[in-house]
Amino acid sequence: MNIQESGEMYLENILILSQQKDRVRSVDIAERMGFSKPSVSRAVGLLRRNGYIDVDGGGSVTLTASGREIAETIYERHRILTAVLISLGVDDETAAEDACKIEHYISDRTFEAVKKHLSEHGRTE
């Protein structure tokens, strides 16, 4: 799974949108992420060429198996890191923003240690 942070963000947002809507379109992604439609179009094209998403004839965007795996990994990191930061006394908004930054750079080993600590000492979610 070698993908840049921006690609991970797109995949995570597509996953979240797919949980909220029956159909995810580029315009939905642009609206959620606050990006221009041309920027999203370029990113969607790259993600599609690299096999992370499919786009049907009607413009519906869906995650492929590899795209879903990355999206779910990033989203899990986001949720758990946000919860950890909130449990430390960070306000909800700042915790979510900081978790969004950390989730792309934390090593698998460190994240697994965080999850293990939470399971042994009580979950914060």
Q: Are residues 65 and 11 in the same domain?
A: yes
Q: Amino acid identity of 43? A: A
Strands 61-63 and 53-55 come out as antiparallel
Percentage of the chain exceeding pLDDT 70: 95
Shared-domain flag, residues 86 and 104 = yes
82 and 42 assigned to the same domain: no
- 48 and 32 in a common domain: yes
Tell me: do 97 and 45 sit in the same domain.
Answer: no
* Same domain? 65 vs 9: yes
pLDDT tens digits, residue range 12-34?
999 999 999 999 999 999 999 99
Domain of residue 30, residue span: 5-69
DSSP letters spanning the chain: ----HHHHHHHHHHHHHHHH-S---HHHHHHHHT--HHHHHHHHHHHHHTTSEEE-TT--EEE-HHHHHHHHHHHHHHHHHHHHHHHTT--HHHHHHHHHHHTTTS-HHHHHHHHHHHHHH----
Q: Which residues pair with 54 in a beta bridge?
A: 62
Q: What are 61's strand-pairing partners?
A: 55
CATH number of the domain to which 39 belongs: 1.10.10.10
| pTM of structure | 0.86
Whether 39 and 53 share a structural domain: yes
Q: Are residues 43 and 84 in the same domain?
A: no
